[in-house]
């Protein structure tokens, strides 16, 4: 993976602004520690940081190719999983190649098909191409939003980058929160409204969208959207098609010139990926597959089963690793590690996030990076196949709000009364929820039961999945590790989108059709294991550590957090002798200890980024 930065300005000679672009690019060094590149034209400038995965010599960026005497220059962050298919088609059309890189294939795809090339791509990507002949910038992001792409317009300037920190390195982009930005942080976070960049007039290219930037302005296009159609395949045909798509996606994502491993939690999704990868390694003579899992000191001693986390991972990890013959690495962190990494995780995300869930993933990726460069991970299967509790519990399904964040009223009570009145967090959440429902592609004649399930899937794919993809991208890239997500293949998403609920839950099980599809590749005790989320620490020392951090902040009159929160309410929660609540206020993992950590991250973020609030 890589980091990309660009600046278009119709009035400046950007070759004279090299120092600014270099600083913006430097902010993305962790995304691309292996190489740096710059390109300047009178009205356009690109910066690139590279993490070498395929073709070390031939994939240098920015990369330029010529057509009819005119240059097109690309910067690109991502991986194309149909590179060789596209290369064959382009060779047949008369193109020639100087490298094996997917960057060159992507650039030539644009030369051949223009902006329509996006519909032919299978992969994860954010890329920009300066077209000299047309004097325009073409910008695009992958269908699921696996790779990030933020932008800001300032007068005649159009700026874009892989991360917010890079945009903030430009002197014209300031860390200012308006009412909307405050609502995003306090009412929506750690999710983020699709397309919202939190800071004033900072945005994100939405998944499945492309931009054309010219002197006349910015033209946005949605090149991909979900389409609701009747599903006519039988159960057997559906299971066979799901197996084919999932297996093909995993195989495609094993391609690399560097070590590839898998993350293995012992749950259904990571175990499926590991099983297919292990078989592929054996077939292709690639040696033993390495797998990685995460745990915490004394977690077994303190673990308590709940609706959201029914059992521990460790026994299932061992079953899968032994069954498949992988070389397994169990990485264990202590409380002090997690607390220390909370600030690093905030810097990686550029926003307060999922507290120790972020911090632990960053630490995990940092350790894995010592031995490998690419990992395959099981994100997105729950959003696509319906694995979360809110797909199955009537109270959550019909909550009338985002089911992973039903505590809006409680969250509003954490705000200072004046800020609460200004922001109106409950109204803001309702507005965003209803806007999203208005986008759902309906199937004419569908019964209300199926229609509501379709709404729930859309909410999860466009909101919750993007939250987890944000987390995976920022934490892995902060450690210079490439994380691939096979269940995010758009072909899988498109097909499963139209499978009716009764078939998705085949056998009266969550993700039942996926379990049926993958029969025979895993032991039944793993194939039919109940859903359990990414593991968090249950050690009470973590709660006490983040509680102490928050209390220090509450006792610091210089804290920028204090004017924004209802201090007596937060102090009462922090000083309570009662056992920290296990009921999440966000997702399945963020309960009271994560609230303490989130507020600690928020205080650090306000200070470190020098955030201001303006009407």
Residues 603, 355: Cα–Cα separation, whole Å: 13
Give Rg (Cα) of the chain.
24
- Residue tagged 């329509």 (tokens): 116
Containing H/E element for 330? strand 327-333
* C-beta of residue 420 within 8 angstroms of C-beta of residue 449: no
If DSSP codes are grouped into helix, strand and coil, which group holds residue 611? Answer: coil
DSSP 205-274: PPTTEEEEEETTEEEEEE------------HHHHHHHHHHHHHHHHHHTT--SS-EEEE--SSHHHHHHH
Residues in a beta bridge with 123 = 80
Beta strands 482-484 and 374-376 are: parallel
If DSSP codes are grouped into helix, strand and coil, which group holds residue 138? Answer: strand
Containing H/E element for 93? none
If DSSP codes are grouped into helix, strand and coil, which group holds residue 147? Answer: coil
CB atoms within 10 A of CB 304: 7
If DSSP codes are grouped into helix, strand and coil, which group holds residue 371? Answer: coil
- Residue tagged 């507005």 (tokens): 431
- Residue tagged 């990685």 (tokens): 292
What angle (nearest 5°) sits at the alpha carbon of residue 191, between those of residues 415 and 380?
A: 155
Within a 13 Å sphere around the CA of 460, how many CA atoms are in the beta-carbon half?
27
Return the structure tokens found at 491: 């072909």
Q: In 3D, which of 187, 211, 298, 308 has the Cα closest to residue 584?
A: 308
Q: In 3D, which of 289, 291, 252, 276 has the Cα closest to residue 484?
A: 252
Residues 44, 539: Cα–Cα separation, whole Å: 52
Q: In 3D, which of 488, 558, 505 has the Cα closest to residue 246?
A: 488
Residues 103, 332: Cα–Cα separation, whole Å: 37
CB atoms within 10 A of CB 66: 10
Beta strands 217-222 and 176-177 are: unpaired
Tell me: cis bond preceding 190? Omega within 30 of 0 counts: yes
Containing H/E element for 441? none
Residues in a beta bridge with 67 = 70
Residues 444, 230: Cα–Cα separation, whole Å: 9
2, 27, 72, 117: which one is catalytic?
A: 2
- Residue tagged 């933020």 (tokens): 150
If DSSP codes are grouped into helix, strand and coil, which group holds residue 334? Answer: coil
Q: In 3D, which of 499, 441, 447 has the Cα closest to residue 233?
A: 499
Residue 428 backbone class (left: φ over 0; alpha: ψ -120 to 50; beta: rest): alpha
Is 72 among the residues known to form the active site? Answer: no
Give the CA distances from residue 459 to residues 153, 379, 447, 474, in Å, rounded to whole numbers and listed in that order: 29, 16, 19, 22
Active-site amino acid positions? 2
């Amino acid at each position: 993976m890589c980091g990309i930065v660009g600046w278009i300005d119709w009035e400046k000679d950007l070759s004279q602004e090299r120092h600014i672009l270099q600083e913006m690019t430097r902010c993305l060094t962790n995304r691309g520690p292996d190489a740096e590149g710059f390109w300047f034209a009178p009205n356009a400038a690109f910066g690139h940081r590279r993490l070498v995965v395929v073709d070390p010599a031939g994939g240098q960026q920015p990369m330029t190719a010529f057509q009819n005497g005119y240059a097109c220059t690309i910067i690109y962050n991502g991986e194309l999983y149909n590179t060789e298919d596209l290369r064959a088609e382009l060779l047949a059309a008369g193109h020639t190649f100087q490298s094996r890189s997917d960057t060159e294939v992507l650039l030539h795809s644009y030369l051949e098909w223009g902006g329509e090339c996006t519909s032919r791509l299978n992969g994860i990507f954010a890329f920009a191409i300066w077209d000299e002949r047309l004097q325009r910038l073409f910008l695009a992001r992958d269908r699921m939003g696996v790779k990030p792409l933020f932008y800001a317009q300032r007068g005649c300037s159009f700026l874009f980058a892989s991360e917010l920190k890079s945009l903030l390195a430009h002197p014209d982009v300031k860390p200012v929160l308006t009412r909307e930005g405050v609502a995003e942080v306090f009412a929506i976070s750690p999710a983020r409204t699709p397309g919202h960049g939190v800071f004033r007039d900072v945005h994100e290219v939405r998944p499945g969208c492309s931009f054309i930037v010219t002197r006349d302005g910015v033209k946005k296009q949605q090149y991909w959207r979900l389409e609701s159609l009747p599903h006519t395949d039988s159960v057997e045909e559906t299971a066979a098609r799901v197996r084919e798509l999932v297996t093909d996606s995993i195989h495609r994502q094993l391609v690399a010139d560097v070590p590839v491993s898998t993350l293995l939690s012992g749950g259904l999704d990571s175990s499926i990926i590991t099983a297919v990868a292990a078989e592929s390694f054996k077939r292709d003579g690639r040696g033993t597959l390495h797998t990685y899992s995460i745990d915490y000191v004394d977690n077994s001693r303190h673990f308590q089963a709940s609706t959201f986390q029914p059992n521990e991972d460790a026994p299932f990890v061992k079953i899968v690793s032994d069954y498949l013959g992988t070389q397994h690495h169990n990485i264990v962190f202590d409380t002090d590690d997690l607390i220390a990494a909370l600030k690093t995780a905030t810097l990686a995300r550029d926003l307060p996030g999922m507290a120790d869930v972020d911090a632990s993933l960053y630490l995990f990726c940092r350790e894995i990076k010592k031995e490998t460069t690419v990992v395959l991970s099981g994100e997105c299967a729950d959003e696509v196949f319906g694995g979360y509790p809110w797909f199955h519990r009537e109270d959550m399904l019909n909550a009338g709000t985002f089911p992973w964040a039903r505590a809006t009223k409680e969250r509003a009570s954490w705000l200072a009364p004046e800020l609460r009145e200004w922001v109106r967090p409950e109204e803001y959440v309702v507005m965003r929820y209803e806007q999203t429902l208005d986008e759902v592609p309906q199937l004419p004649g569908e019964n209300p039961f199926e229609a509501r399930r379709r709404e729930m899937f859309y909410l999860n794919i466009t909101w919750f999945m993007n939250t987890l993809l944000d987390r995976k991208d920022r934490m892995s890239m902060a450690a210079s590790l490439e994380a691939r997500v096979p269940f995010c293949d758009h072909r899988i998403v498109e097909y499963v989108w139209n499978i009716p609920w009764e078939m998705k839950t085949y056998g009266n099980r969550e993700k039942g059709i996926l379990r049926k599809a993958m029969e025979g590749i895993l032991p039944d005790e793993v194939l039919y294991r109940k859903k359990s989320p990414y593991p968090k620490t249950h050690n009470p020392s973590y709660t006490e550590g983040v509680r102490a951090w928050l209390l220090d902040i509450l006792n610091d009159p210089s804290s920028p957090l204090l004017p924004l929160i209802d201090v007596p309410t937060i102090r009462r929660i922090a000083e309570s002798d009662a056992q920290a609540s296990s009921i999440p206020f966000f997702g399945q993992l963020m309960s009271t200890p994560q609230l303490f950590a989130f507020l600690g991250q928020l205080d650090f973020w306000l200070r470190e980024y020098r955030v201001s609030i303006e009407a």
